[in-house]
Chain A
């Protein structure tokens, strides 16, 4: 069915329009801003969005999600290496912060997901284990020797390791030693490494292959985010397979993360009086930061904006299957609430003002809206 006949899409756009109205109503009733004009700028922006977003069949959403979000974080492909390459190439220092903070604070709060509680250090451990060898492999025995606790059964560490191996899409090879020197018994060592096509991609920056010495060792750039990129690539290519990606929770989590990125990108910059103390704060850098209104973080405003926005993202990323998993349950509402407190390093508080660090993804999504707005005003 073409976009023009898609009834679900139209319904989602309408719902978002209504949510904007609700948010504007809440904003008009309360003022928590202390910068003159901040609240008005936010209301103006929401009004603009209400007017412009439904136009051309929700073209702004389609462009922002298809061209920016998907390209940078969630490529629409079935090939693992292609997805991984796109995510890896869009990495910037600040973008890493977003992904790390979001996944740590959000997707991770569920046991099955990445980086939760005890699994967090395990990703760091994988980085360390790969760094310690010069053949770009890790071995289960070595992993246990480095991180295992002699007082706990070995299968604990091995089980956690295997879980991560599956989550990231690493491959394993077995080496059978017929007679172990110490026990004189047969012993099997399991080596884990990256698939060949991924290794080729890593060679550019993350992996140094020394042909003369026959070594393959990781560079300083090899970090936990390489694994997180693999995690995202794995979910992106298996988006139609609910079991493989961890079910409704992952879908809600990923959609909410991207909804937050979209929302942050569309927020207006606030100009402040030259006497405002924030301009003298050493942590504020006018060149790559901007003050944004904080009223959008009010529970009532965010809750009304977020649910339809999450649905829009879910629909664009995974069609009807993903949309059907976004349920307005109590748990999901709590998750939406949690989103308010994420991404502290790219979206920080300075002297009570919310500051957005202008990273490429925010700028490129923000530009889509600005261009349309300028065109609309000219017309």
Chain B
């Protein structure tokens, strides 16, 4: 008989901190270190005679003194705190040097105090974004902001048609964001046809081009064939070969081989292995949304003429992914949750910080982002929020670097959405206070 103690761990190593009660404190760790630094700096500036600010060496000395008080034992935390504090002081110093000739120093001091006040407020919201035990879920920022974004970019619904129509409703204002949600920057890691048949990858630039080709071919000169599920009806069809005709040097070979899988995600099906035609579900959706027009032929048959828009098929892909959110590829899950986390974070900042706040760059800095967003990404994957498989969120710093580096490259439409989130936060906060 062996006396060796048996391990009670049932999950793989490295995956032990996946419960809400484990993840939430980790999300709070760095935020709860940032806030005191900002508050302390604000207190110091308030107590400092405005004229002393003119001599930037005084600020350097104060910072050095502050650093001496650092008593944190964890190296990562003390390093982060030092970096964070030094960034704040550098920004304040630059602001003073830049404006000391143009603005009275007393006003400069007021500005700095205001900026710090706003930053502390933003961190306050981030700190109380939700509850440790998920109590009163409907009353938390995290739940409400996630649902606000989800309704626009990744809605839920009882069936594909409901989801599609929800997406279509917001496509006028946020189509580019909806498209962005489906297009991971790490598309080169995706496998078009996974051995796991159900897995849904993101849309690569080439697949996006192919979707455009399909739309153009349907609109230009489609063939028509019998609607297998409905007698006396004809549906539009295009030749599969025509889609890949423009590609040279086998640059779309992988896509050609995966035609059937790509087609399924677009609501299309292969007929006789030659034609691509909409499936029964898509036909219903298209008819209801005016993307197909009925026309009675001389032989009595009803022909369905396509009149597709740019978004017609892409929104189906998004609706399909949303409905089967349990089967998304690793890349797509990481991409969607990162974008949601980024939008929540930026929405709160937009709400709390004025546009001219000099501390914005600290919040947008990669070093700050990588401390806050990965845990936010995991929190919003929980069933009450997006309901994605959080085990697929990659923890490797290299991967984070790969996807986080692109957060700065926002598209204009995302900025509009961030503004709407900020307005929503303001409204939600007022309602909460009134109740």
Binding site for B on A (CB under 8 A): 30, 32, 34, 104-105, 109-110, 117-118, 120-121, 124-125, 127-128, 131-132, 146-147, 149-151, 210, 212-213, 277, 281-283, 294, 297-298, 331, 334-335, 337-338, 340-341, 344, 348-354
The reply on B221 being an interface residue by CB < 8 A is yes
Residues of B within 8 A of A353 (CB): 307
Which A residues are CB-close (under 8 A) to B398?
A: 149-151
Using CB atoms and an 8 Å cutoff, list the residues of chain B in contact with chain A: 94, 97-98, 171-172, 175, 185, 188, 205, 209, 212-213, 215-216, 219-221, 245-249, 251, 290-291, 293, 305-311, 366, 398, 401-402, 405-406, 408-409
Give the Cβ gap from A259 to chain B, nearest Cβ, in Å. Answer: 15
Once the chains bind, are B406 and A124 in contact (CB under 8 Å)? yes
Q: What residues of chain B lie closer than 8 Å to A277, measured between beta carbons?
A: 290
Cβ of A298 and Cβ of B220 under 8 Å apart?
yes
Contact B305 A335 (CB under 8 A): no
Q: B219 contacts A352, CB within 8 Å? A: yes
Whether B220 contacts A297 by the Cβ 8 Å rule is: yes
Best-buried of A109, A277, A335, A353 by chain B (most CB within 10 Å): A109
- CB within 8 Å for A348 and B310 given contacts A150-B398, A334-B247, A335-B248: yes
B309 neighbours in A (Cβ, 8 Å): 281, 283, 348-352
Shortest Cβ distance from residue A209 to the other chain B in the assembled complex, whole angstroms: 13
Measured between beta carbons, the chain B residues less than 8 angstroms from A151 are 398
Query: A279 CA to B219 CA in the complex, in Å?
Result: 18
The 7 residue pairs across chains A and B that have the minimum distance between CB atoms: A352-B307, A338-B246, A282-B172, A337-B246, A351-B307, A341-B213, A348-B310
Shortest B108–chain A CB gap in Å is 14
Given the known A-B contacts A212-B98, A334-B248, A349-B309, are A125 and B405 also in contact in the complex, defined by CB atoms under 8 Å? Answer: yes
**Complex-state Cα separation, A227 to B199, whole angstroms:** 36
Q: In the bound complex, do residue B209 and residue A341 qualify as a contact, i.e. CB atoms below 8 Å apart?
A: yes
A350 to chain B, nearest CB (A): 5
Does B247 lie within 8 Å of A351, measured CB to CB?
Answer: no
Which residues of chain B are within 8 angstroms of A30 by Cβ–Cβ distance? 221
- Chain B residue numbers with a CB within 8 Å of A125 are 405
A337 contact set on B, CB distance < 8 A: 245-246
14 contacts between A and B (CB under 8 A): A110-B248, A128-B408, A147-B402, A151-B398, A283-B175, A297-B216, A340-B216, A341-B212, A341-B213, A349-B219, A350-B309, A351-B309, A352-B219, A352-B306
A337 to B290, CA, bound (A): 29
Whether A212 lies near B406 (C-beta < 8 A) is no
The residues of B that contact A352 with a CB separation of less than 8 Å are: 219, 291, 293, 305-309
- What is the bound-complex CA distance between A5 and B214, given in angstroms? 46
Most chain A CB inside 10 Å of its own CB: which residue of B246, B308, B310, B405:
B246
Residues from chain A with a CB closer than 8 A to the CB of B205 are 104, 120
Could you list 6 further interchain pairs (A-B, Cβ under 8 angstroms) beyond the known A125-B405, A132-B366, A348-B310? Answer: A109-B247, A118-B188, A283-B171, A331-B248, A337-B245, A348-B309
Tell me which residues across on chain B come within 8 A of A340, comparing CB atoms.
216, 246
Return the chain B residue nearest A336 by Cβ. B246
CA distance A118 to B213 in the complex (A): 22
Cβ-defined contact, B307 with A344, below 8 A: no
Interchain CB contact under 8 A, B172 and A105: no
A contact residues around B219 at 8 Å (CB): 294, 349, 352, 354
Q: How many angstroms between the C-alpha atoms of A351 and B307 in the bound complex?
A: 4
Decide: A351 near B246, CB < 8 A? Known: A32-B221, A344-B310. Answer: no
Give the nearest-CB partner of A353 in chain B.
Answer: B307
CB-nearest residue of chain A relative to B243? A341
Shortest beta-carbon distance from B222 to chain A in Å = 9
Contact A344 B212 (CB under 8 A): yes
B401's partner among A127, A147, A334, A344 (CB-CB below 8 A) is A147
Cα distance, A202 to B254, chains bound together (Å): 41
Q: Which residues of A contact B246 (CB under 8 A)?
A: 334-335, 337-338, 340-341
Which chain B positions have C-beta within 8 A of A121? 185, 406
What residues of A have a CB within 8 angstroms of the CB of B175 in the complex? Answer: 283
Contact across chains for A146 and B209 when beta carbons are under 8 A apart: no
Q: B248 touching A109 by the CB < 8 A rule? A: yes
Compute how far the CA of A213 lies from the CA of B91 in the bound complex, rounded to whole angstroms: 11
CB-based contact B405/A294 at 8 Å: no
B14 to chain A, nearest CB (A): 18
A354 vs B213: C-alpha distance in the bound complex, in angstroms?
Answer: 14
Q: A104-B205, A120-B205, A121-B185 are contacts. A350–B247 as well, Cβ < 8 Å?
A: no
Q: How far is the CA of A105 from the CA of B219 in the complex (A)?
A: 20
CA distance A30 to B220 in the complex (A): 12
Q: How far is the CA of A151 from the CA of B402 in the complex (A)?
A: 13
Q: Is the CB of A349 within 8 A of B406?
A: no
CA distance A32 to B175 in the complex (A): 28
Which chain A residues lie closer than 8 Å to B248 at the CB level?
109-110, 331, 334-335
A213-B310 contact in complex given A128-B405, A340-B216, C-beta closer than 8 Å: no
Closest Cβ of chain B: how far from A10's Cβ, in Å?
32
**Is the beta-carbon distance between A213 and B98 smaller than 8 angstroms?**
yes
